[in-house]
Amino acid sequence: MTYKRVLLKISGEQLAGKFESGIDAELCARLANEVKELGDAGIQVVIMVGGGNFARGTQLCGHGIRRVTADQIGMLGTMMNALAINDIFMSLGLQSRCLSNIFAEQVTESFVHRLAEEYLDEGKILIIAGGIGRPYLTTDTAAVSLALELSCNVVLKATKVDGVFSDDPEKKPLSKKYVQLSGEEAVSNPNIRIMDKAALGLALEHKLPIIVFDSRKPGNILRAATGGEAGTIILP
């Protein structure tokens, strides 16, 4: 089964690749090739980028920095990622557009629902900056919210592990991998920490499937978007 429109969530950590922080341009170029494959298969793509390679609100607040300000700084981090990816994609011949959920008119276009729909229908890849534009949220929740707003058929959550495990596979190697998981289990099981519970709950409520997969495996993004075997599918 090939999804018609997908929301691909990429964390800042993923974009940093081999580096501690910042952006691994080589990795972004590989990502561009994989995203191009989706376009060639007729799949419309929205990308929600994280910002954890620059700043995370929860880690930054304190010592006088208010949570709201810390989250705004986090959102600016996502903006830096989105701008960089958009340039890399365009330099490789992809038709992409960066739309921001925080106002930054000198830098990039603002997210407007109708414009986003138009770009997608024209076959352009959308790269979203600024999460959903409000504090006290992460880009995981923003990803699910935006997927619903843009009628995406699935959220593809790119990670560095091959799906959802019964516990942290890096710390507990005997953890079991789920091929399929119910949304209820994903929300209620405290050992499942692959995604924010708020994001999982929102997806469950609106019957939106999420596929968690290892984006470092070549071809996995296309596999996930075409119903192939990739990671874990969380079904509502």
Return the number of the residue (121 or 145) whose C-beta is nearest ligand UDP: 145
Q: Which is nearer to ligand UDP, 11 or 220 (CB)?
A: 11
Q: What are 109's strand-pairing partners?
A: 99
> Cβ of residue 93: shortest distance to ligand UDP, in angstroms?
27
- The CA–CA distances, whole Å, from 194 to 147, 156, 236 equal 18, 13, 16
Min. distance of Cβ 174 from ligand UDP in angstroms?
A: 27
Shortest distance, CB of residue 64 to ligand UDP, whole angstroms? 17
CB of 128 to ligand UDP, least distance (A): 10
Residues with Cβ within 8 Å of residue 38, at least 6 apart in sequence: 6, 45, 221, 222, 225
What are the C-alpha distances in Å from 213 to residues 115, 116, 117, 221? 30, 26, 26, 8
Shortest separation between residue 57's beta carbon and ligand UDP, angstroms: 2
Decide whether 34 or 140 has the Cβ nearer to ligand UDP.
140
DSSP bridge partners of 98: 127
Nearer to ligand UDP, 142 or 235 (CB): 142
Nearer to ligand UDP, 198 or 226 (CB): 198
**Footprint on this chain of ligand UDP (rule: CB under 6 A):** 11-13, 50-52, 56-57, 71, 74-75, 77-78, 131-132, 134-135, 137-140, 142
* CB of 15 vs ligand UDP, minimal distance in Å: 8
Between residues 24 and 184, which has the closer beta carbon with respect to ligand UDP? 24
